[in-house]
Structure 1
Amino acid sequence: MHTKTILIVDDEPRIRQGIKKTLENWANGQYLILSAAGGEEAIEIIEANKISLLITDIRMPEMSGLYLLETLKKQERNPVVIIISAYSEFAYAQQALRLGVVNYLLKPVSKQKLIEAVEQAVQVEQKQTRTGLIQKVVDEKLADMNNYNDGNKIYSKSIIDAILFIDERFNMEITLKQVAAHVHLNSSYFSALFKEQTNVTFSEYLTRIRLQHAKNLLMTSTLPVTEIAEKVGYNTSKYFIKLFKQYEGMTPNAYRKGNENDF
Structure 2
Amino acid sequence: MHKLLIVDDERNIRLGIQAMISRAFPETFEFLLASNGLEALELLNSNDIDILLTDIKMPEMDGIQLVQSIQNLAYKPTVLIISGYDDFQYAKEAIKFRVKDYLLKPINRNELKQTLERVLLEAEVEQNTKKAANEYCSNQLNYIFIHPKIREEEVNKIVTNLQLDAFMDGYYVGAMKFHESSEEENVAYVEDMIAKYCSGSEYFCFRDKDGNVIILTCEEQLFHTLKSHMKSKRSSLGISVRHTHLEHIKTAYEQAVFALKNYFLYPEKPLIHFSHVNKSKITDHDIPVDNLKKIFHMIGTNREQEIKTCLLEVLNLEEITHQGIEYMELLSRSINTIILDAAYHRLGEDSVEILKRYDKVGYIYHFKSFYDYFYALEEMIFLLHEYQKQLKSVYSEQKYMEMAIKYIHDNYNQDINLAVVSNYVSLNYSYFSHMFKEYTGHSFVDYLKKVRIEQAKTLLTSPELKIYEVSSLVGYKNPKQFTRVFREFVGIAPKEYQEKLLSD
Show the counterpart of 1:72. Answer: 70
3-state SS of 1:33 partner: strand
The residue type paired with residue 78 of structure 2 is V
The residue type paired with residue 12 of structure 1 is E
**Separation in 2 of the partners of 1:235 and 1:119?**
37
Show the counterpart of 1:90. Answer: 88
8 A Cα contact 1:53 1:81, kept in partner: yes
Normalised to the residue count of structure 1, the TM-score between the two structures is 0.55
CA drift of 1:122 comes to 2.0
CA drift of 1:4 comes to 2.0
Show the counterpart of 1:106. Answer: 104
CA drift of 1:220 comes to 3.3
Show the counterpart of 2:320. Answer: none
1:57 aligns with one of 55, 58, 64: 55
**Separation in 2 of the partners of 1:123 and 1:76?**
22
In structure 1, stretches of 5+ residues that fail to align are 144-162, 164-173, 177-190, 201-210, 223-230, 255-263
Show the counterpart of 2:45. Answer: 47
1:36 aligns with one of 34, 37, 41: 34
Measured against aligned partners, the alpha-carbon deviations of 1:145-170 in whole angstroms (never above 9, x if no partner) come to xxxxxxxxxxxxxxxxxx9xxxxxxx
3-state SS of 1:87 partner: coil
**Separation in 1 of the partners of 2:132 and 2:57?**
37
Measured against aligned partners, the alpha-carbon deviations of 1:186-242 in whole angstroms (never above 9, x if no partner) come to xxxxx7xx7599458xxxxxxxxxx9xx998633369xxxxxxxx9654999xxx89
Q: 1:54 to 1:233 in 2, by over 3 A?
A: same
**Separation in 1 of the partners of 2:5 and 2:19?**
12
Show the counterpart of 1:182. Answer: none
Q: Alignment identity in percent?
A: 27
The residue type paired with residue 114 of structure 1 is L
Q: 1:32 to 1:110 in 2, by over 3 A?
A: same
8 A Cα contact 2:48 2:75, kept in partner: no
Show the counterpart of 2:5. Answer: 7
The residue type paired with residue 187 of structure 2 is M
CA drift of 1:72 comes to 1.3
CA drift of 1:137 comes to 6.4
The residue type paired with residue 218 of structure 1 is N
CA drift of 1:77 comes to 4.4
CA drift of 1:124 comes to 3.2
**Separation in 2 of the partners of 1:219 and 1:26?**
34
CA drift of 1:45 comes to 1.3
Measured against aligned partners, the alpha-carbon deviations of 1:95-131 in whole angstroms (never above 9, x if no partner) come to 1011110111111121111111112122333344455
1:121 aligns with one of 110, 116, 119: 119
8 A Cα contact 1:20 1:34, kept in partner: no
Show the counterpart of 1:218. Answer: 186
CA drift of 1:94 comes to 1.1
**Separation in 2 of the partners of 1:96 and 1:235?**
44
Show the counterpart of 2:228. Answer: none
3-state SS of 2:100 partner: strand
What is the aligned length? 188
* Bigger relative contact order, structure 1 or 2 (CA pairs below 8 A, ≥6 apart): 1
CA drift of 1:74 comes to 3.2
**Separation in 2 of the partners of 1:95 and 1:11?**
20
Q: 1:243 to 1:138 in 2, by over 3 A?
A: farther
Q: 1:124 to 1:216 in 2, by over 3 A?
A: farther
CA drift of 1:64 comes to 0.9
RMSD of Structure 2 on Structure 1 (CA): 4.5
